């Protein structure tokens, strides 16, 4: 081997060593930066990932280090420089090596080469190579260790490498699903003042809207993703467990958890905070009065499922007539309930202070608010009671017309007079002849008959034609209401009418003593009717009967309708649920996991469209998870959608042919 | 097929009967322009009665506070769930009036918040065509009530179907006259009422 060949060999070895060392240092620098940045970010921002630009920066720094080191070893590119380095390392060569290279064909070349052969050039070279390589290798090992400590994703840990390596590497990857055992903690909104509850392995979570839902499971969060509907939810690791947290949405939605090829769906079933309920117990009914001089006692009771905040009464005063109406609203001061679930309101209203005029109406209602500070407050209103001041010109109410005696009163006076006449006749009965008795009894009977007819008119005038559906079969004829209707709706007048019948009959056959008891019964019944509660009866609107045959198709113009579009089926949502349910059930024997997934997603939509169907599906899904028989829940689900099968009694009729 | 019966809803809180001849007028118009089998007289049915569910269209109007009792609310919800339609008209023609305020509040509470109905909705073209949306009423043009000409009606929709139609235009005044007087009008102003009926029966 010539001297030049020896130096070239050394040059190649040291060149390789230089490049390897440069790459090693570059890698070490890159890993070191990643590891340190990951640790620093974790310390400063708990369990957060390092920003993406740090990875790029680390890579650039590493490449820069490689380039700088290669530049530093640029002298290895010259063979003479390498030869001089060897001469420097082995002084005994006394420049024989460089001389041999420069004067390769000299007559002393053999001697020089022999002298060179005696020196340990390989040993020097190997030591130099080791000095270049070993620190770089050590640096790579240290940086790798740091990276490991910093929980790099490449080692199935969260860290800076999570950006670079999305798939956990073989040995550190958990073997099974990290979703098989999950725990859910539900923390209701603060206004409920309730503590958190824990659920183990639920398929569905029911909670108030706005509750904080925290789902945790075994293992770190890397590779575990969560979707609420179509929204990705970031997970994090804490104490060796993955955590996904989200607020309970307002509508049912599926929380889809994924871990590599594994998937689990949890139904988030929101429960709306019910608005409070309030009942106005006093005043108990609407009233019409002539003069607005009344102090009204007001009382209401309110309840709520979470808690009540406040309540008050509202008076709406409406004035006006014809086409001009005005209204003003007055509210009483708030009564605080301080979060209790039940409360009462009470107060008084002096109508005199409202300066009401004829025709004015005061509408009173009670209102209550709950403590819902998240999506509320929920507001409850009671039924409305109205106090109306009658107009002077109103004649549609027996209560407001005190001046003229109403017809019922005049009937009652006549009846009393007739009883007195009959009693006198009974006294005179023994003194007078039969024809005289028959004549006087007949006269009283005629008058009694007029009373009876008047009562009949009142009875049918009050009851007839107030409202109702025209019976197409009856056409335009006014059919008299049945007696049963009157017996129920106006029993006193009806009883008087019946008694008067009996009295008239007895008087007409000259039996006044027999007539007296029913006459007294009639008087009492008329008195009761006269003293009964006065009710304001709105005027019956004029009844206009359209002559359909006359006006049929006699319009001045014809319509020109646009093309009609098909209607959507009123029950299209249920039909869609039924179709998807059928598909899922058909898939069940072949692919149970897929079917359960479909049923779970179906349940999310069914929660609002058909709660009974959703409840049955929930039972079925639970049965699948537990490995028990799901036939009955599935049957209930089908019936919730399609109804109970209809069966007809008896055999179908024979068609007469075979 | 049974004939169409125009139904006026009777509610407890106010003057439900403030437009007593409107039903007859619309019945006359429906018979006059369409071949729909129509009963010669309308029905007045309490909203608290389940009989209300027998009618595809229920007309409500008034000047005074409009509030449902629990039974009324339950029945009208059932009615629209089953495909019925409710037409509520503000007889005050006043967006600040007590009927409009309380009715909109009650509708929002019972059915959901009503929104402006686009003037391209099929209700404006299902029989007569109203290219500009709801026809103006003489009360609007004369400056009664809120002195506004309302560009839109309001509606609560389910899908593409109107469940509750609300009007501040005071059709209750506009159409509240005896049908025999229709012959004095050059243009029949109840034509939009025909559209409402046709829409309720066909959508």
pLDDT band at A158 (very low <50, low <70, confident <90, very high): very low
> From the CA of A569, how many Å to the nearest CA of chain B?
10
A606-615 confidence digits (pLDDT tens) = 887 788 899 9
- Higher pLDDT, residue B193 or A218: B193
Q: Is the pLDDT of residue A568 over 70?
A: no
pLDDT band at A565 (very low <50, low <70, confident <90, very high): low
d(CA A579, CA A613): 13
DSSP H helices, chain B, are 22-33, 70-81, 98-110, 138-141, 171-174, 191-202
> From the CA of B164, how many Å to the nearest CA of chain A?
15
**Residues on chain A touching B97 (C-beta within 8 angstroms):** 325, 327
Residue ranges covered by each domain of chain A: 3-162, 174-271, 278-389, 407-463+484-531, 573-642
CB-nearest partner of B178 from A323, A472, A544 = A544
**CA separation, residue A11 to residues A81, A83, A124, B17, B199 (Å):** 9, 9, 12, 112, 96
Structure tokens at B132: 């500009």
Q: Does B178 touch chain A (CB under 8 A)?
A: yes
Q: Does B126 touch chain A (CB under 8 A)?
A: yes
SS3 of residue B45 by DSSP: strand
pLDDT band at A472 (very low <50, low <70, confident <90, very high): very low
User: Which residues of A, range 364-423, sit inside 8 Å of B by Cβ?
Assistant: 365, 381, 383-384, 386
pLDDT at A36: 84
> From the CA of B195, how many Å to the nearest CA of chain A?
9
SS3 of residue B8 by DSSP: strand
**Sheet of B57-62, strand order:** B43-46, B7-10, B57-62, B85-90, B161-167, B154-158, B115-116
Q: Does B129 touch chain A (CB under 8 A)?
A: yes
d(CA A152, CA A146): 9
pLDDT at A271: 87
For CA atoms A629, A633, A639, A642, give the dihedral sign: negative
Q: Does B35 touch chain A (CB under 8 A)?
A: yes
For CA atoms B44, B48, B50, B55, give the dihedral sign: positive
Helix (H), strand (E) at residue A52? helix A52-72
CATH topology of domain A278-389: Immunoglobulin-like (2.60.40)
With beta carbons less than 8 A apart as the criterion, state whether A349 and B51 touch: no
**Residues on chain A touching B42 (C-beta within 8 angstroms):** 470
Kindly give the parts of chain B with pLDDT less than 70: 1
CA atoms within 13 A on the CB side of A584: 23
B23-65 confidence digits (pLDDT tens) = 999 999 999 999 899 999 999 999 999 999 999 999 999 988 8
d(CA A251, CA A607): 9
pLDDT band at A488 (very low <50, low <70, confident <90, very high): low
pLDDT at A478: 38
Q: Which of A81-95, A381-395, A643-657, B123-137 has the highest mean pLDDT?
A: B123-137
Burial A398-407 (b: 16+ CB within 10 A, else e): bbbeeeeeee
> Is B179 within 8 Å of A551 when comparing Cβ atoms?
yes
**Residues on chain B touching A564 (C-beta within 8 angstroms):** 122, 126, 202
List CB contacts of B29: < 8 A, sequence separation 6 or more: A555, B179, B182, B188, B190, B191, B193, B194
Closest residue by Cα to residue A494 from A463, A473, A449: A463
Closest residue by Cα to residue A226 from A212, A245, A199: A245
pLDDT at A567: 58
d(CA B156, CA B158): 7
List CB contacts of A164: < 8 A, sequence separation 6 or more: A55, A153, A154
Q: What is the average pLDDT across A382-388?
A: 85
Between β-strands A262-271 and A253-259, what pairing exists: parallel, antiparallel or unpaired?
antiparallel
A250-287 confidence digits (pLDDT tens) = 888 888 888 877 888 889 999 888 889 999 998 888 88
**Residues on chain A touching B13 (C-beta within 8 angstroms):** 363, 384, 386
Burial A557-589 (b: 16+ CB within 10 A, else e): eebebeeeeeeeeeeebbeebbebbeebbebbe
Specify the long-range contacts of residues B137-141, CB closer than 8 Å, at least 24 apart. B137/B93, B137/B169, B137/B170, B137/B171, B137/B173, B137/B174, B137/B189, B138/B174, B138/B189, B139/A323, B139/B93, B139/B169, B139/B170, B139/B173, B139/B174, B140/B93, B140/B169, B140/B170
Which CATH code is given to the segment(s) A174-271? 2.60.40.10
**CA separation, residue A110 to residues A7, A93, A98, A362 (Å):** 16, 14, 14, 132
Q: Does B50 touch chain A (CB under 8 A)?
A: no
d(CA A599, CA A637): 11
> B102 φ, ψ to 5°?
-70, -35
pLDDT band at A409 (very low <50, low <70, confident <90, very high): very low
Closest residue by Cα to residue A313 from A364, A277, A275: A364
Closest residue by Cα to residue B145 from B185, B80, B178, B100: B100
User: Which residues of A, range 3-32, sit inside 8 Å of B by Cβ?
Assistant: none
> Is A555 within 8 Å of B144 when comparing Cβ atoms?
no
Do the domains A278-389 and A174-271 match in fold? yes
Select the residue from A469, A470, A474 to test the B interface by mutation, using most B Cβ atoms within 10 A: A469
> Is A470 within 8 Å of B40 when comparing Cβ atoms?
yes
Between β-strands B7-10 and A385-389, what pairing exists: parallel, antiparallel or unpaired?
unpaired
SS3 of residue A381 by DSSP: strand
> From the CA of B137, how many Å to the nearest CA of chain A?
14
pLDDT at A544: 82
Query: Average pLDDT of chain A?
Result: 80
d(CA A368, CA A346): 13
pLDDT at A178: 82
Q: Is the pLDDT of residue A155 over 60?
A: no
Give the global pTM: 0.47
- Centroid of chain to Cα A467: 41
With beta carbons less than 8 A apart as the criterion, state whether A521 and A495 touch: yes
> From the CA of A445, how many Å to the nearest CA of chain B?
41
Q: How far apart are the first and last CA of chain A?
A: 114
> Is B125 within 8 Å of A562 when comparing Cβ atoms?
yes
- Higher pLDDT, residue A450 or A44: A450
pLDDT at B147: 76
> Is A541 within 8 Å of B27 when comparing Cβ atoms?
no
> Is A555 within 8 Å of B129 when comparing Cβ atoms?
no
Read off the DSSP letter of residue A404. Answer: S
Please state which of the ranges A49-53, A160-164, A393-397, A530-534 shows the lowest mean pLDDT.
Answer: A160-164
With beta carbons less than 8 A apart as the criterion, state whether A510 and A426 touch: no
Please state which of the ranges A150-164, A299-313, A506-520 shows the lowest mean pLDDT.
Answer: A150-164
- Higher pLDDT, residue B94 or A414: B94
Q: What is the average pLDDT across A166-177?
A: 52
CATH topology of domain B7-202: Rossmann fold (3.40.50)
d(CA A151, CA A142): 15
pLDDT at A468: 41
Burial A595-624 (b: 16+ CB within 10 A, else e): bbbbbbbbbbbbbeebeebbbbbbebbebb
pLDDT band at A558 (very low <50, low <70, confident <90, very high): confident
Instruction: Decide: residue A491, CB within 10 A, 0-12 exposed, 13-18 middle, 19+ buried.
Output: middle
pLDDT at A404: 38
With beta carbons less than 8 A apart as the criterion, state whether B111 and B77 touch: yes
Q: Does A542 touch chain B (CB under 8 A)?
A: yes
User: Which residues of A, range 295-324, sit inside 8 Å of B by Cβ?
Assistant: 316, 318, 320, 323
Q: What is the average pLDDT across A139-148?
A: 88
pLDDT at A489: 63
d(CA A352, CA A296): 10
> From the CA of A466, how many Å to the nearest CA of chain B?
9
pLDDT at A167: 41
The domain A407-463+484-531 is placed in CATH, from the list 1.20.120, 1.10.357, 1.10.1740, 1.10.260, at: 1.20.120
CB-nearest partner of A363 from B65, B128, B187 = B65
pLDDT band at A539 (very low <50, low <70, confident <90, very high): low
pLDDT at A301: 94
> From the CA of B114, how many Å to the nearest CA of chain A?
19
> Is B31 within 8 Å of A320 when comparing Cβ atoms?
no
Select the residue from A278, A279, A323, A572 to test the B interface by mutation, using most B Cβ atoms within 10 A: A323
CA atoms within 13 A on the CB side of A344: 6
- Higher pLDDT, residue A153 or A498: A498
d(CA A545, CA B24): 7
Residue ranges covered by each domain of chain B: 7-202
A584-596 confidence digits (pLDDT tens) = 999 888 888 888 8
> From the CA of A546, how many Å to the nearest CA of chain B?
5
**Residues on chain B touching A556 (C-beta within 8 angstroms):** 187-188
Q: Does B131 touch chain A (CB under 8 A)?
A: no
pLDDT at A654: 57
pLDDT band at A477 (very low <50, low <70, confident <90, very high): very low
**Sheet of A295-303, strand order:** A277-282, A295-303, A342-350
d(CA B128, CA A196): 61
Q: Is the pLDDT of residue A473 over 50?
A: no
Structure tokens at B5: 């019966």
List CB contacts of B142: < 8 A, sequence separation 6 or more: none
For the CA atoms of chain B, what is the radius of gyration? 15
Structure tokens at B81: 């769930």
> From the CA of B82, how many Å to the nearest CA of chain A?
8
ipTM higher than the 0.90 cut: no
Select the residue from B13, B55, B56, B58 to test the A interface by mutation, using most A Cβ atoms within 10 A: B13
Burial A212-224 (b: 16+ CB within 10 A, else e): bbebbbbbbbbbb
The DSSP string of A74-124 is GGGG-HHHHHHHHHHH-GGGTTHHHHHHHTTT-TTHHHHHHHHHTS-HHHH
């Amino acid at each position: 081997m010539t001297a030049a060949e020896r130096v070239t060999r050394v040059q190649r070895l040291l060149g390789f060593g230089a490049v390897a060392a440069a790459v090693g240092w570059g890698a070490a620098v890159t890993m070191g930066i990643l590891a340190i940045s990951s640790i620093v970010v974790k310390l400063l921002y708990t369990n957060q990932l390092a920003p993406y630009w740090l990875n790029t920066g680390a890579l650039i720094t590493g490449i820069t280090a490689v380039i700088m080191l290669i530049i530093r070893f640029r002298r290895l590119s010259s063979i003479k420089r390498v030869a001089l380095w060897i001469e420097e390392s082995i002084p005994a060569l006394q420049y024989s090596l460089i001389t041999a290279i420069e004067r390769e064909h000299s007559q002393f070349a053999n001697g020089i080469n022999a002298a060179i052969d005696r020196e340990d050039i390989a040993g020097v070279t190997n030591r130099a190579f080791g000095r270049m390589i070993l620190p770089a290798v050590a640096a790579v090992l240290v940086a790798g260790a740091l990276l490991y400590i910093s929980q790099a994703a490449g080692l199935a840990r969260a860290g800076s490498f999570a950006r670079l390596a999305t798939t956990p590497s073989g040995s550190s990857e958990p073997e099974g699903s990290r979703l098989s055992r999950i725990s859910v903690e539900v923390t209701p909104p603060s206004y409920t003042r309730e503590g958190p509850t824990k659920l183990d392995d639920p398929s569905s979570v029911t909670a108030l809207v706005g509750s904080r839902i925290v789902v945790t499971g075994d293992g770190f969060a890397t590779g575990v993703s969560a979707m609420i509907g179509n929204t990705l939810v970031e997970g994090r690791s804490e104490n060796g467990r993955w955590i996904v947290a989200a607020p309970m949405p307002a509508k049912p939605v599926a929380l889809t958890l994924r871990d590599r090829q594994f998937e689990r769906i949890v139904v988030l079933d929101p429960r709306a905070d019910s608005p409070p309920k309030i009942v106005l117990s006093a005043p108990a009914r609407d009233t019409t009065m002539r003069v607005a001089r009344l102090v009204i006692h007001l009382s209401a009771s309110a309840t709520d499922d979470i808690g009540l905040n406040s309540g008050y009464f509202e008076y709406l005063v409406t004035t006006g007539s014809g086409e001009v109406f005005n209204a003003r609203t007055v509210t009483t001061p708030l009564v605080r309930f301080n979060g209790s679930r039940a409360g009462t309101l009470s107060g008084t209203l002096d109508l005199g202070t409202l300066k009401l005029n004829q025709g004015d109406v005061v509408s009173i209602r009670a209102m209550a608010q709950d403590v819902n500070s998240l999506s509320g407050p929920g507001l409850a209103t009671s039924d409305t009671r109205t106090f109306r001041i009658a107009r002077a010109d109103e004649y549609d109410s027996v209560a407001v017309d005190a001046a003229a005696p109403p017809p019922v009163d005049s009937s009652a006076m006549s009846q009393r007079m007739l009883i007195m006449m009959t009693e006198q006749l009974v006294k005179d009965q023994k003194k007078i002849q039969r024809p005289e008795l028959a004549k006087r009894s007949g006269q009283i009977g005629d008058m009694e008959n007029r009373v009876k007819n008047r009562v009949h008119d009142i009875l049918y005038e009050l009851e007839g034609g107030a409202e109702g559906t025209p019976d197409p079969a009856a056409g335009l004829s006014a059919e008299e209401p049945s007696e049963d209707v009157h017996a129920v709706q106006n029993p006193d007048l009806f009883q008087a009418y019946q008694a008067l019948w009996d009295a008239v009959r007895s008087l007409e056959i000259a039996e006044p003593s027999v007539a007296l008891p029913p006459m007294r019964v009639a008087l009492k019944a008329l008195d009761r009717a006269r003293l009964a509660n006065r009710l304001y009866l709105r005027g019956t609107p004029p009844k206009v009967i359209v002559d359909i045959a006359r006006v049929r198709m006699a319009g001045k113009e014809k319509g020109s309708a646009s093309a009609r579009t098909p209607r959507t089926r009123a029950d299209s949502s249920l039909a869609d649920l039924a179709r998807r349910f059928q598909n899922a059930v058909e898939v069940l024997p072949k692919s149970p996991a897929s079917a359960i997934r479909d049923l779970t997603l179906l349940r999310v939509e069914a929660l609002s469209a058909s709660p009974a169907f959703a409840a049955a599906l929930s039972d079925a899904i639970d049965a699948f998870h537990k490995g028990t028989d799901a036939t009955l829940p599935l049957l209930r689900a089908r019936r919730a959608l399609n109804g109970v099968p209809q069966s007809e009694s008896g055999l179908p009729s024979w068609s007469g042919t075979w | 097929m049974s004939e169409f019966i125009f139904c006026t809803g009777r509610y407890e809180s106010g003057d439900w009967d403030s437009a007593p001849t409107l039903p007859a007028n619309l019945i006359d118009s429906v018979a006059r322009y369409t071949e729909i089998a129509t009963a010669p007289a309308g029905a007045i049915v309490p909203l608290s009665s389940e009989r209300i569910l027998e009618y595809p269209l229920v007309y409500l109007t008034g000047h005074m506070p409009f509030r449902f009792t629990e039974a009324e609310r339950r029945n009208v919800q059932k009615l629209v769930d089953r495909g019925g339609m409710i037409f509520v008209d503000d007889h005050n023609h006043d967006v600040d009036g007590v009927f409009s305020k309380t009715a909109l509040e009650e509708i929002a509470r019972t059915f959901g918040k009503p929104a402006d109905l686009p003037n391209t909705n099929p209700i404006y073209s299902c029989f007569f065509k109203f290219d500009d949306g709801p026809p103006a009423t003489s009360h609007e043009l004369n400056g009664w009530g809120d002195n506004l000409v309302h560009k839109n009606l309001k509606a609560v929709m389910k899908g593409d179907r109107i469940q509750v139609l609300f009007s501040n235009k005071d059709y209750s005044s506009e159409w509240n006259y005896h049908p025999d007087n229709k012959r004095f009008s050059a243009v029949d102003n109840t034509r939009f009422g025909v559209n409402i009926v046709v829409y309720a029966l066909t959508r």
